[in-house]
Amino acid sequence: MLVPTPIDSVPNRPPVGRGTAEADPADPDLAVCTCGLTKHYVHPWTLRRTRGLEGLDLGVRRGEVLGLLGPNGAGKTTTLKLLTGLLKPTRGRAWLLGRPVEETASRRHLGFLPEQPYFYDYLNGLEYLELAGRLSGLSGGLARDRARQWLERVGLGERPRLVLRKYSKGMLQRLGLAAALVHDPELLILDEPMSGLDPFGRRDVRDLIGEQRERGVTVLFSSHILPDVEMICDRVAILMGGRLTRVATVGELMGDGPQAVEVRCASPALIEMPPGWAGVVARTERAGETIFRVEDETRLPEVLGRLLQANVPVRAVTPQRPTLEALFLAAAEPERARRSA
Amino acid sequence: MIPLVVAHNTFREVTRDRVVAGAVVAGLALLAITQVVGPLALGEGGRLTVDLGLSGISVLGLLVIVLSGTSLVAKEVERRTIYNLLSRPITRPAYLVGKWAGLSAALWTVALLLGLALWGVLAARGLGDRGPAVLQGVYLAGLELTVLTSLAVMFSALSTPVLSALYTLGFYAVGQWSYDLRGLAARLPEGPGALLGTAASLVPNLPLFNMRTLAAEGQPTTWLHLVLASGYAAVYVGCVLCLATAAFESKDFK
């Protein structure tokens, strides 16, 4: 078990002008703002200190969808728990919709879906959503109405009295989303919302997030699933080892560095690889086709020209998007280099 | 009114658990047994019924506290259902107060149901005149359970369910002997005596809530006793919940 180190003394009001340009708590356009947010865990017996998050300066603009990316242990969940008040920071401050996260009222317009959400299995779907609404400040009648609406909206309205212990994982995830949205929040924080869902479930979650963006809701979510992030995020923030290494649009991230391109040829290509292609073009023979992988897209015209000149039947030319792993590594490289230095 | 919402949910949680239903059934069975063995009590059947009926409320209530109450918060932390609550605009003190109020309400319901059954049995035996004393006995038993609930919620917020159960049972056992402990403290030398006296003051003064002997004889207690017991319970519960919230406030939910 890990316990927190004591919180530093920090001012109550957002310090005007403090923080980076990216995360200025005085900026009214920011829905989420963190300044030097840090979390260390100390093991109660060994007193060994583990870094969960270090000096996070991050701003999420109102109406924006921002994805938090990072491998396991990068600090994504720690960040989200610090923002939602489930963890106390070791140092630094955070604000939600202009209010410090230490204030309970900062969560009044917040909807949160934890990673692998757990529910009261003695309640049914309707009761659970009604409870969620009441806890977020809705009156009894309104909470009941909204619970019915949202149960319908996430496709669980046919059996509102079904107890939660009989729900499947996908149904629970949808219920969790409905619980996060039942009070019409201005800010949505989702921890791995697509984790463990089948393609249909992921599509539903993406649609729901897209709908919220249309409504002007700010969405901050963590994910490992790059295609989903690409589809719904305005910007992504990459965390590595508890540190923020990059904040950029998906397009900017994809545009970093040389892009690989795959050239597929319909039959075995009777062509010899020139020595100049070594290290740039990789050739793979498969049944009925040959694949040339061009690591640097600037060399593509040269490779294509040569293939066409040799009458090799080119079937497809496909740009290879970098994998999430490749993006992580690329983003982490400057940090690693800085540490080595 | 967030504590009321949490309390309502806790009440549902506890009453939908089989433990509460089991406690009510066991209490009714105990009353039935007193009617079977009553004739063997040589004219003391009514006394036996009241004594066992009120004891049943206390013991079965304690059983509900140990089986449900001591894991009330710890289970939420372990199953991570607490994330869904504390990420909403709820203060941690409001959450703990709601938990205590919900479990207390469930225990009062059990006490009232068994108290009504006891009164019904007495009325059927022509001992309806013991009704006021029995009512007072049920009220004091309910107060005793409310005090123990606050301890269970505090331990549950800070420890594992098993340890919480042990601590709660320990406080219950020592609390039953709090008068004797104070008497012993007065006879000891100053240092150890003061220490034991302080310890005796920290555990709940449970004999204050025990009027089984009086009720068995059909004698109501004084209003002063009821007011003092109510005031003591309110202060004790308040102190315990303050301690619990102070410790719970800085807790991290990893």
Distance CA B155, CA A146 (A): 36
Return the residue of B nearest to A111 by Cα. Answer: B88
Identify the three-state secondary structure at position B254: coil
Nearest to B33 by CA among B242, A195, A77, B25: B25
Domain A1-109+214-256: give its CATH architecture.
3-Layer(aba) Sandwich (3.40)
Nearest to A221 by CA among A4, A32, A7, A57: A32
Question: How do residues A51-76 score in pLDDT, each as one tens digit?
Answer: 899 999 999 999 999 999 888 888 99
Instruction: Concatenate the DSSP letters of all residues of B138-193 into one string.
Output: HHHHHHHHHHHHHHHHHHHHHS-HHHHHHHHHHHHHHHHTHHHHHHHHHHS-HHHH
Angle at A134 between CA A129 and CA A135, to 5 degrees: 95
Direct distance between the N- and C-terminal alpha carbons of chain B, in angstroms, rounded to an integer: 28
Please indicate whether, in this complex, the C-beta atoms of A179 and B253 are within 8 angstroms of each other.
Answer: no
Find all residues with CB under 8 Å of A172, minimum gap 6, and list them: A117, A119, A164
Please list every residue in chain B whose beta carbon sits closer than 8 Å to the beta carbon of residue A108: 89
pLDDT at B213 over 50: yes
Q: Which amino acid is at B120?
A: G
Return the residue of A nearest to B98 by Cα. Answer: A135
Disruptive mutation site among B16, B88, B159 for chain A (greatest number of A CBs within 10 Å): B88
- Write the residue in A2, A85, A118 that is nearest to B254 by C-beta: A2
Distance CA A294, CA A265 (A): 13
Distance CA B239, CA B254 (A): 28
Angle at A74 between CA A243 and CA A61, to 5 degrees: 65
Please list every residue in chain A whose beta carbon sits closer than 8 Å to the beta carbon of residue B5: 131, 134-135
Question: How do residues B50-75 score in pLDDT, each as one tens digit?
Answer: 999 999 999 999 999 999 999 899 98
Overall fold of domain A260-320: Alpha-Beta Plaits (3.30.70)
Distance CA A108, CA A247 (A): 27
Mean pLDDT of B151-155: 95
Identify the three-state secondary structure at position B230: helix
Distance CA B165, CA B161 (A): 6
Q: Which amino acid is at B211?
A: M
pLDDT for position A32 = 95
Please list every residue in chain B whose beta carbon sits closer than 8 Å to the beta carbon of residue A87: 252-254
Please list every residue in chain B whose beta carbon sits closer than 8 Å to the beta carbon of residue A141: none
Mean pLDDT of A287-305: 87
Please list, residue by residue across A29-49, b when 16 or more beta carbons sit within 10 angstroms of its beta carbon and e when fewer do. ebbbbbbbbbbbbeeeeeeee
Extents of the domains making up chain A = 1-109+214-256, 260-320
Extents of the domains making up chain B = 2-249
Please indicate whether, in this complex, the C-beta atoms of B83 and A119 are within 8 angstroms of each other.
Answer: no
Contact residues, chain A to chain B, C-beta under 8 Å: 2-4, 41, 81, 84-88, 104-105, 107-108, 110, 112, 114, 116-120, 122-123, 127, 131-132, 134-137, 176, 179
Please list every residue in chain A whose beta carbon sits closer than 8 Å to the beta carbon of residue B16: 122
pLDDT for position B197 = 87
Q: What percent of chain A has pLDDT over 90?
A: 41
pLDDT for position A2 = 39
Please indicate whether, in this complex, the C-beta atoms of A85 and B87 are within 8 angstroms of each other.
Answer: yes
Please indicate whether, in this complex, the C-beta atoms of A86 and B252 are within 8 angstroms of each other.
Answer: yes
Residue that wins the pLDDT comparison between A227 and A337: A227
Find all residues with CB under 8 Å of B146, minimum gap 6, and list them: B104, B107, B108, B233, B237
Residue B236: CB atoms within 10 Å = 20
Please list every residue in chain A whose beta carbon sits closer than 8 Å to the beta carbon of residue B83: 84, 86, 112, 114, 117-118
DSSP collapsed to 3 states, chain A: CCEECCCCCCCCCCCCCCCCCCCCCCCCCEEEEEEEEEEEEECCCCCCEEEEEEEEEEEEECCCEEEEECCCCCCHHHHHHHHCCCCCCCEEEEEECCEECCCHHHHCCEEEECCCCCCCCCCEHHHHHHHHHHHCCCCHHHHHHHHHHHHHHCCCCCCCCCEHHHCCHHHHHHHHHHHHHCCCCCEEEEECCCCCCCHHHHHHHHHHHHHHHHCCCEEEEEECCHHHHHHHCCEEEEEECCEEEEEECHHHHHCCCCCEEEEEECCCCCCCCCHHHCCCEEEEEECCEEEEEECCHHHHHHHHHHHHHCCCCEEEEEEECCCHHHHHHHHHHHHHHHHHC
Please list every residue in chain B whose beta carbon sits closer than 8 Å to the beta carbon of residue A120: 9, 13, 81
Please indicate whether, in this complex, the C-beta atoms of A110 and B87 are within 8 angstroms of each other.
Answer: yes
Please indicate whether, in this complex, the C-beta atoms of A122 and B253 are within 8 angstroms of each other.
Answer: no
B13 close contact with A: CB closer than 8 A: yes
* Min Cα–Cα distance to chain A from B4, Å: 10
Question: How do residues A83-128 score in pLDDT, each as one tens digit?
Answer: 999 999 999 999 999 999 999 999 999 999 998 888 898 999 999 9
Which two structure tokens, joined as six digits, stand for A143?
Answer: 């909470």
Separation in Å, CA A20 to CA A17, A36, A59, A60 = 8, 10, 9, 13
Distance CA A37, CA A293 (A): 43
Please indicate whether, in this complex, the C-beta atoms of A3 and B252 are within 8 angstroms of each other.
Answer: yes
Q: What percent of chain B has pLDDT over 90?
A: 65
Whether the model pTM is above 0.90? no
Please indicate whether, in this complex, the C-beta atoms of A4 and B6 are within 8 angstroms of each other.
Answer: no
